[in-house]
Structure 1
Amino acid sequence: MPECPEVHIGRVEIPGEDYARIQQAADQGRNLWRLSPVRTAQVVGTEHLGLRANDIYTLREQYIESGSGLRHAVVEVTHGPCRFLVELYQPERQGSRGIWVVEDVTPL
């Protein structure tokens, strides 16, 4: 299995990430990339997780967690010789107007 040590693996916690403020910005028409799980994986992945903008990002699935009702998405990222699953969820609002945040990165 190829190694890509520059990529952050595991649970993702971005210091200072305020979900309510991010949702409010999207509601006001700013940072609309947050409304797409693929674009969120790309932008957050490039800025914080060691991924690259020109990696290949593919939406694998979206599902609703039965207990919480939270909407989740899984984006597969091909990063050079490595492949990762980036898991995201919608913390503030569910559906097309809700922001996405990265929760976890797992190597494939």
Structure 2
Amino acid sequence: MACPEVVTGSVVIPGEDYERIQRAVDNGQYLWRLSPVRTAQEVGTVHLGLRMNDAYTFVEQFRDSDDGLMHAVVRVKHRSCTYVLELYQPEKQGRGGIWIVLSVTPL
């Protein structure tokens, strides 16, 4: 793989408390969590080896028939590599719900 610094596979961020994050967003903090692309940028830069100035492209948003939750797909071009980040809304669905990075898959 040409970009070994990027973490791929299922994403689990230690100490990430979805309920607490949702409450903080409801109180006007971390509003970037309301955007799948901004969440991919912030979480990707801090935890996954991506860069803020990588090219982030919103691909789609859909309701997963298995878990009933809203999911979103963001494509990221990082140096010579391309990744697909899948995100989902664990607390609230739709507007006002936080986004969490679920997985990073190399293309």
Query: TM tier, shorter chain?
Result: over 0.9
Alignment of 1:72-83 (within 5 A): 72-83=71-82
Residues matched between the structures, number: 107
TM-score when scaled to structure 2? 0.98
- 2:30 is aligned with 1:35: no
SS at match of 1:98: coil
Name 1:20's counterpart in structure 2: 19
Name 2:96's counterpart in structure 1: 97
**Residue 23 of structure 2 aligns to which amino acid in structure 1?**
Q
Q: What CA distance in whole angstroms lies between the structure 2 residues aligned with 1:94 and 1:80?
A: 33
Gaps in structure 1 of 5+ consecutive residues: none
Deviates more, 1:63-72 or 1:16-25: 63-72
Identity of matched residues, %: 64
Name 1:66's counterpart in structure 2: 65
SS at match of 2:95: coil
**Residue 92 of structure 2 aligns to which amino acid in structure 1?**
R
- Segments ≥4 residues shifted beyond 2 Å: none
Shift of residue 67, structure 1, vs aligned partner: 2.5
Q: What CA distance in whole angstroms lies between the structure 1 residues aligned with 2:38 and 2:66?
A: 27
Name 1:57's counterpart in structure 2: 56
